[in-house]
Chains A and B, each alone.
Chain A
Amino acid sequence: MINALTFDGSILLEIAILLGLVTVVLTFINSRKLKGEIFEKPFIYFALGLLFGTFSLIAVTFFQGSWGANTVSIVHDLSFIVGMGLLLLASMQIAKFLKGVESFGKNIEK
Protein backbone atom coordinates (compact mmCIF):
# COMPACT_ATOMS: atom_id res chain seq x y z
CA MET A 1 0.00 0.00 0.00
CA ILE A 2 1.42 3.42 -0.97
CA ASN A 3 1.60 6.07 1.69
CA ALA A 4 0.64 9.30 -0.06
CA LEU A 5 2.73 11.41 2.30
CA THR A 6 5.93 9.38 2.39
CA PHE A 7 5.79 7.73 -1.06
CA ASP A 8 6.74 4.44 0.66
CA GLY A 9 5.94 1.48 -1.55
CA SER A 10 5.57 3.45 -4.78
CA ILE A 11 6.94 1.14 -7.46
CA LEU A 12 6.62 3.84 -10.13
CA LEU A 13 8.76 6.22 -8.09
CA GLU A 14 11.37 3.52 -7.60
CA ILE A 15 11.37 2.86 -11.35
CA ALA A 16 11.78 6.62 -11.91
CA ILE A 17 14.78 6.63 -9.55
CA LEU A 18 16.35 3.65 -11.30
CA LEU A 19 15.79 5.23 -14.70
CA GLY A 20 17.22 8.51 -13.38
CA LEU A 21 20.39 6.78 -12.15
CA VAL A 22 20.84 4.89 -15.43
CA THR A 23 20.42 8.19 -17.33
CA VAL A 24 23.01 9.87 -15.08
CA VAL A 25 25.55 7.11 -15.76
CA LEU A 26 24.91 7.10 -19.52
CA THR A 27 25.08 10.89 -19.76
CA PHE A 28 28.35 10.87 -17.83
CA ILE A 29 29.77 8.17 -20.14
CA ASN A 30 28.75 10.29 -23.14
CA SER A 31 30.51 13.29 -21.61
CA ARG A 32 33.72 11.21 -21.47
CA LYS A 33 33.31 10.38 -25.16
CA LEU A 34 33.20 14.11 -25.86
CA LYS A 35 36.37 14.80 -23.86
CA GLY A 36 38.13 17.91 -25.08
CA GLU A 37 35.10 19.08 -27.05
CA ILE A 38 32.98 22.10 -26.28
CA PHE A 39 30.10 19.77 -25.37
CA GLU A 40 32.01 17.99 -22.61
CA LYS A 41 31.07 20.50 -19.90
CA PRO A 42 27.37 20.75 -20.83
CA PHE A 43 27.13 16.96 -20.71
CA ILE A 44 28.74 16.91 -17.26
CA TYR A 45 26.23 19.57 -16.14
CA PHE A 46 23.40 17.48 -17.61
CA ALA A 47 24.64 14.43 -15.66
CA LEU A 48 24.96 16.41 -12.41
CA GLY A 49 21.58 18.08 -12.91
CA LEU A 50 19.94 14.71 -13.44
CA LEU A 51 21.80 13.34 -10.40
CA PHE A 52 20.45 16.13 -8.17
CA GLY A 53 16.95 15.67 -9.63
CA THR A 54 17.10 11.93 -8.97
CA PHE A 55 18.47 12.54 -5.48
CA SER A 56 15.44 14.70 -4.70
CA LEU A 57 13.30 11.63 -5.50
CA ILE A 58 15.59 9.35 -3.47
CA ALA A 59 15.27 11.65 -0.47
CA VAL A 60 11.46 11.54 -0.41
CA THR A 61 11.33 7.82 -1.13
CA PHE A 62 13.94 6.41 1.21
CA PHE A 63 14.81 8.97 3.90
CA GLN A 64 11.38 10.10 5.13
CA GLY A 65 11.58 7.86 8.19
CA SER A 66 15.15 8.60 9.26
CA TRP A 67 15.55 12.33 8.43
CA GLY A 68 12.17 13.69 9.40
CA ALA A 69 9.61 15.41 7.18
CA ASN A 70 11.06 18.95 7.36
CA THR A 71 14.63 17.94 6.54
CA VAL A 72 13.49 15.71 3.68
CA SER A 73 11.34 18.53 2.31
CA ILE A 74 14.27 20.96 2.36
CA VAL A 75 16.69 18.41 0.82
CA HIS A 76 14.12 17.51 -1.85
CA ASP A 77 13.43 21.13 -2.83
CA LEU A 78 17.08 22.22 -2.78
CA SER A 79 18.24 19.18 -4.80
CA PHE A 80 15.50 19.83 -7.32
CA ILE A 81 16.38 23.53 -7.63
CA VAL A 82 20.13 22.83 -8.00
CA GLY A 83 19.37 20.05 -10.51
CA MET A 84 17.17 22.26 -12.66
CA GLY A 85 19.77 25.07 -12.42
CA LEU A 86 22.48 22.75 -13.75
CA LEU A 87 20.25 21.57 -16.62
CA LEU A 88 19.57 25.22 -17.47
CA LEU A 89 23.31 25.99 -17.40
CA ALA A 90 24.03 23.06 -19.74
CA SER A 91 21.40 24.10 -22.26
CA MET A 92 22.61 27.71 -22.12
CA GLN A 93 26.16 26.62 -22.91
CA ILE A 94 25.03 24.64 -25.95
CA ALA A 95 22.87 27.56 -27.11
CA LYS A 96 25.83 29.93 -26.64
CA PHE A 97 28.03 27.78 -28.88
CA LEU A 98 25.38 27.53 -31.60
CA LYS A 99 24.68 31.28 -31.46
CA GLY A 100 28.43 31.95 -31.68
CA VAL A 101 28.76 29.91 -34.88
CA GLU A 102 25.63 31.54 -36.28
CA SER A 103 26.86 35.08 -35.55
CA PHE A 104 30.24 34.28 -37.11
CA GLY A 105 28.42 33.10 -40.24
CA LYS A 106 26.43 36.33 -40.37
CA ASN A 107 29.60 38.39 -39.98
CA ILE A 108 31.12 36.56 -42.95
CA GLU A 109 28.17 37.54 -45.11
CA LYS A 110 28.57 41.21 -44.14
Chain B
Amino acid sequence: MVNLKKELEDNQVILLLMPGKEYNEDIVKNLKYFSSSSSVFYVTLNKTYSALSELCKKHKVKSDNVVFVDTISKTIKKTPDQSKQVYYVSSPGALTEISLVVSKFLKHEFDYMIFDSLTNLAIYTKRAPVGKFLSSLIHKIKGTKTKAVFYAISSGENDELIKQAEMFVDKVIVLGKNKGGESDD
Protein backbone atom coordinates (compact mmCIF):
# COMPACT_ATOMS: atom_id res chain seq x y z
CA MET B 1 0.00 0.00 0.00
CA VAL B 2 1.37 3.40 -0.96
CA ASN B 3 1.85 5.58 2.07
CA LEU B 4 -0.03 8.60 0.77
CA LYS B 5 0.38 10.65 3.92
CA LYS B 6 4.13 10.26 3.73
CA GLU B 7 4.11 11.10 0.03
CA LEU B 8 2.08 14.19 0.81
CA GLU B 9 4.60 15.31 3.41
CA ASP B 10 7.14 15.71 0.62
CA ASN B 11 4.77 16.67 -2.20
CA GLN B 12 1.83 19.02 -1.77
CA VAL B 13 -0.12 17.96 -4.85
CA ILE B 14 -0.30 14.36 -6.02
CA LEU B 15 -1.98 12.81 -9.05
CA LEU B 16 -3.17 9.31 -8.23
CA LEU B 17 -3.78 7.11 -11.25
CA MET B 18 -5.92 4.14 -10.39
CA PRO B 19 -7.22 1.20 -12.39
CA GLY B 20 -10.93 1.51 -13.17
CA LYS B 21 -11.80 -1.93 -11.83
CA GLU B 22 -10.57 -1.16 -8.33
CA TYR B 23 -11.71 2.44 -8.28
CA ASN B 24 -14.49 2.01 -5.68
CA GLU B 25 -12.23 0.09 -3.31
CA ASP B 26 -9.45 2.63 -3.71
CA ILE B 27 -11.57 5.71 -3.03
CA VAL B 28 -13.00 4.13 0.14
CA LYS B 29 -9.57 3.03 1.36
CA ASN B 30 -8.12 6.48 0.77
CA LEU B 31 -11.03 8.25 2.42
CA LYS B 32 -10.71 5.97 5.44
CA TYR B 33 -6.99 6.62 5.51
CA PHE B 34 -7.26 10.42 5.37
CA SER B 35 -10.39 11.04 7.43
CA SER B 36 -9.25 8.98 10.42
CA SER B 37 -7.24 11.80 11.96
CA SER B 38 -7.38 14.79 9.61
CA SER B 39 -9.87 17.24 8.15
CA VAL B 40 -10.67 16.53 4.52
CA PHE B 41 -12.72 18.20 1.83
CA TYR B 42 -13.79 15.93 -0.92
CA VAL B 43 -14.80 17.28 -4.33
CA THR B 44 -16.87 14.63 -6.06
CA LEU B 45 -17.51 14.77 -9.80
CA ASN B 46 -18.39 11.13 -9.94
CA LYS B 47 -20.78 10.05 -7.19
CA THR B 48 -23.50 11.90 -5.32
CA TYR B 49 -23.00 12.76 -1.67
CA SER B 50 -25.69 10.24 -0.70
CA ALA B 51 -23.94 7.49 -2.68
CA LEU B 52 -20.62 8.35 -1.06
CA SER B 53 -22.02 8.49 2.46
CA GLU B 54 -23.73 5.16 1.81
CA LEU B 55 -20.38 3.74 0.70
CA CYS B 56 -18.77 5.16 3.85
CA LYS B 57 -21.41 3.55 6.07
CA LYS B 58 -21.04 0.24 4.28
CA HIS B 59 -17.28 0.19 4.80
CA LYS B 60 -17.48 1.77 8.25
CA VAL B 61 -15.56 4.86 7.26
CA LYS B 62 -15.85 7.70 9.73
CA SER B 63 -16.82 10.72 7.66
CA ASP B 64 -17.31 13.29 10.43
CA ASN B 65 -14.11 15.05 9.46
CA VAL B 66 -15.05 15.19 5.80
CA VAL B 67 -16.84 18.02 4.00
CA PHE B 68 -18.15 17.15 0.55
CA VAL B 69 -18.56 19.29 -2.55
CA ASP B 70 -21.14 17.42 -4.59
CA THR B 71 -21.31 18.38 -8.27
CA ILE B 72 -23.64 15.58 -9.35
CA SER B 73 -26.83 15.79 -7.25
CA LYS B 74 -28.03 19.08 -8.74
CA THR B 75 -27.89 17.61 -12.24
CA ILE B 76 -30.28 14.78 -11.39
CA LYS B 77 -32.70 16.21 -8.83
CA LYS B 78 -33.78 19.39 -7.11
CA THR B 79 -31.24 19.97 -4.38
CA PRO B 80 -30.61 22.83 -1.92
CA ASP B 81 -27.38 24.79 -2.21
CA GLN B 82 -26.03 23.24 0.98
CA SER B 83 -26.81 20.92 3.86
CA LYS B 84 -24.95 19.95 7.01
CA GLN B 85 -21.81 18.36 5.59
CA VAL B 86 -22.14 19.04 1.90
CA TYR B 87 -22.12 21.94 -0.55
CA TYR B 88 -23.85 21.33 -3.87
CA VAL B 89 -22.50 22.74 -7.15
CA SER B 90 -24.62 23.00 -10.35
CA SER B 91 -22.74 20.45 -12.45
CA PRO B 92 -19.30 18.87 -12.95
CA GLY B 93 -18.84 21.19 -15.93
CA ALA B 94 -19.41 24.32 -13.82
CA LEU B 95 -15.70 25.11 -13.59
CA THR B 96 -16.13 28.73 -12.43
CA GLU B 97 -18.40 27.63 -9.62
CA ILE B 98 -16.15 24.72 -8.55
CA SER B 99 -13.12 27.01 -8.63
CA LEU B 100 -14.84 29.64 -6.45
CA VAL B 101 -16.10 27.06 -3.95
CA VAL B 102 -12.70 25.34 -3.70
CA SER B 103 -10.96 28.73 -3.25
CA LYS B 104 -13.29 29.60 -0.38
CA PHE B 105 -12.80 26.17 1.25
CA LEU B 106 -9.03 26.38 0.95
CA LYS B 107 -9.15 29.41 3.27
CA HIS B 108 -10.46 27.14 6.04
CA GLU B 109 -7.16 25.25 6.24
CA PHE B 110 -8.28 21.69 5.66
CA ASP B 111 -5.48 19.14 6.00
CA TYR B 112 -6.34 17.36 2.75
CA MET B 113 -8.34 17.93 -0.39
CA ILE B 114 -9.43 15.02 -2.57
CA PHE B 115 -10.51 15.73 -6.14
CA ASP B 116 -12.50 12.82 -7.57
CA SER B 117 -11.82 12.73 -10.49
CA LEU B 118 -10.03 14.32 -13.44
CA THR B 119 -11.43 11.62 -15.71
CA ASN B 120 -14.96 12.85 -15.02
CA LEU B 121 -13.93 16.45 -15.50
CA ALA B 122 -12.78 15.53 -19.00
CA ILE B 123 -16.17 13.99 -19.78
CA TYR B 124 -18.07 17.17 -18.97
CA THR B 125 -15.77 19.83 -20.41
CA LYS B 126 -13.40 20.47 -23.30
CA ARG B 127 -9.69 19.87 -22.81
CA ALA B 128 -8.52 23.51 -23.09
CA PRO B 129 -10.63 24.89 -20.20
CA VAL B 130 -9.78 21.83 -18.09
CA GLY B 131 -6.06 22.56 -18.43
CA LYS B 132 -6.52 26.20 -17.40
CA PHE B 133 -8.83 25.16 -14.56
CA LEU B 134 -6.33 22.62 -13.24
CA SER B 135 -3.42 25.01 -13.46
CA SER B 136 -5.33 27.74 -11.61
CA LEU B 137 -6.65 25.29 -9.00
CA ILE B 138 -3.23 23.79 -8.27
CA HIS B 139 -1.66 27.24 -7.95
CA LYS B 140 -4.36 28.18 -5.46
CA ILE B 141 -3.67 25.00 -3.47
CA LYS B 142 0.05 25.76 -3.44
CA GLY B 143 -0.72 29.09 -1.83
CA THR B 144 -2.16 27.24 1.18
CA LYS B 145 -1.09 24.48 3.58
CA THR B 146 -3.70 22.03 2.30
CA LYS B 147 -2.34 18.88 0.65
CA ALA B 148 -4.22 17.67 -2.42
CA VAL B 149 -4.79 14.38 -4.17
CA PHE B 150 -6.25 14.34 -7.67
CA TYR B 151 -7.74 11.04 -8.80
CA ALA B 152 -7.76 9.84 -12.39
CA ILE B 153 -8.55 6.53 -14.01
CA SER B 154 -5.63 5.09 -15.93
CA SER B 155 -7.67 3.90 -18.88
CA GLY B 156 -5.67 5.31 -21.77
CA GLU B 157 -8.63 7.33 -23.07
CA ASN B 158 -7.63 10.41 -21.13
CA ASP B 159 -3.91 10.26 -21.78
CA GLU B 160 -3.67 13.85 -22.98
CA LEU B 161 -5.50 15.24 -19.96
CA ILE B 162 -3.35 13.13 -17.64
CA LYS B 163 -0.19 14.35 -19.38
CA GLN B 164 -1.39 17.91 -18.88
CA ALA B 165 -2.15 17.23 -15.23
CA GLU B 166 1.28 15.61 -14.74
CA MET B 167 2.88 18.95 -15.59
CA PHE B 168 1.06 20.76 -12.78
CA VAL B 169 1.27 18.26 -9.91
CA ASP B 170 4.34 17.51 -7.78
CA LYS B 171 4.20 13.74 -8.10
CA VAL B 172 2.32 11.07 -10.02
CA ILE B 173 1.55 7.78 -8.30
CA VAL B 174 0.25 4.89 -10.34
CA LEU B 175 -1.67 2.24 -8.46
CA GLY B 176 -0.80 -0.95 -10.28
CA LYS B 177 -2.47 -4.32 -10.56
CA ASN B 178 -0.59 -5.62 -7.56
CA LYS B 179 -1.88 -3.35 -4.83
CA GLY B 180 0.75 -1.08 -3.50
CA GLY B 181 2.65 -1.18 -6.75
CA GLU B 182 3.95 2.31 -7.23
CA SER B 183 5.43 3.84 -10.28
CA ASP B 184 6.74 7.31 -9.65
CA ASP B 185 7.49 9.80 -12.37
| Interface set of A (CB-CB < 8 Å, partner B) | 34, 36-39, 97-98, 100-102, 104-105, 108-109
Contacts and interface: CB of A to CB of B under 8 A. Distances in A.
Contacts of A38: 89-90, 94, 97
Contacts, number: 39
Nearest to B75: A36
- Main SS of chain A's interface residues? helix
Determine the interface band of chain B, counting residues with CB < 8 A from chain A: 10 to 19
Interface string B78-96: 0001100001011101101
Contacts of A109: 108
B101 to A, nearest CB: 6
**8 tightest A-B CB contacts, nearest first:** A37-B94, A101-B104, A36-B91, A104-B82, A100-B81, A104-B87, A38-B90, A37-B97
Contacts of A39: 96-97
B69 to A, nearest CB: 10
Given A100-B82, A104-B82, A108-B67, A37 B90 contact: yes
